[in-house]
Chains A and B, each alone.
Chain A
Amino acid sequence: MMQAQAGAAETQAFHASAADIGEMDRWVEELGARWGIPERTVFRARVCIAEIAANVLEHGATRPDGDQIIITLRDQAPAVEIEIADTGKAFNPVTSAAEADAEADRSATEGGRGLQLLHSYASAIDYKRERDRNILLFRVLSA
């Protein structure tokens, strides 16, 4: 894992693997505690990050040696800004939201909840595809 720190912003790179998704959750939890971000905000940020990372792992893999997920957290009290860059297949969670909502509305289905949680917990969601990477930027603020 690589690490860079610049004031109230930190970046960390992870592999798109179940083990590293656990590591990224511990990292976000620890950083949130260190920065004094409200527990509820950190929890929601962890949910959003877990959903995007799981999506890369389950549906977006492109590299036989494993994809990479690079997360940047910026402390913008009372909110936290999150940037997630990944080397997986192109996937825009902004335009996919309507489809996810429709699937989630079918209450008998098991899937379709991840994007619904992302859109409920995050705001100012912005997506771009740049140099074969998905780059997702959003903010999380406790309700």
Chain B
Amino acid sequence: MQVSIADDTGPTARVVLAGKLDISGADAIALPLATLSGSKNAVLLDMTGVTFLASIGIRHLVSASKALGRRGGRLVLLNPNEMVTDVLVTSGVSGLMEIVRSESEAAAALKAYAPG
């Protein structure tokens, strides 16, 4: 799993993930996701390059979503593929985060959490 923090200079952050969000991938995202979700108003995870998702990865997404939610923020997932989306929906967590399908939707979702 490759984790790239593309932008974390403002009140929101954008993180690009690529590869498998499995037991090893979960290890890779744990620290950056926990750090950003504890300090930002919203976090956008670009999931376009995520090819696999298991429950151990979901665990970190839910944890980040909860941390952001406690401060009125939101976790936004950009463009997870059809099968990864199916895992999110089947596991019942899709309602805890916002799934967007385009850059314009992502920008609109983040704008609400970046006042000014």
Contacts and interface: CB of A to CB of B under 8 A. Distances in A.
Interface stretch (A60-68, A85-93, A110-118, A130-138): A110-118
Contact of A113 (B23, B24, B27, B55): B55
Contact of B22 (A25, A113, A116, A117): A25
B54 A54 contact: yes
Contact of B52 (A43, A109, A117): A43
SS class, residues of chain B in contact with chain A: helix
Interface in A87-143: 104-105, 107-111, 113-114, 116-117, 120-121
A36 to B, nearest CB: 18
B24 A117 contact: no
A118 B54 CA distance: 11
Interface in B60-85: 60, 62-63, 66, 83
Interface stretch (A6-14, A45-53, A75-83): A45-53
A110 to B, nearest CB: 4
Given A54-B54, A111-B59, A22 B24 contact: yes
B83 A113 contact: no
A114 B93 CA distance: 12
A78 B54 CA distance: 23
Nearest to A121: B90
Interface string B12-41: 000000001011100100000000000000
Contacts of B55: 51, 54, 111, 113-114, 116-117
B87 interface: yes
Given A47-B54, A54-B54, A107 B20 contact: no
Contacts of B91: 104, 113, 116-117
A116 B92 contact: yes
Given A18-B23, A113-B58, 14 more contacts: A18-B27, A19-B24, A22-B23, A43-B83, A46-B52, A50-B22, A50-B52, A57-B23, A105-B92, A107-B95, A110-B60, A110-B63, A114-B55, A116-B92
Interface of A: 18-19, 21-22, 25, 39-40, 43, 46-47, 50-51, 54, 57, 104-105, 107-111, 113-114, 116-117, 120-121
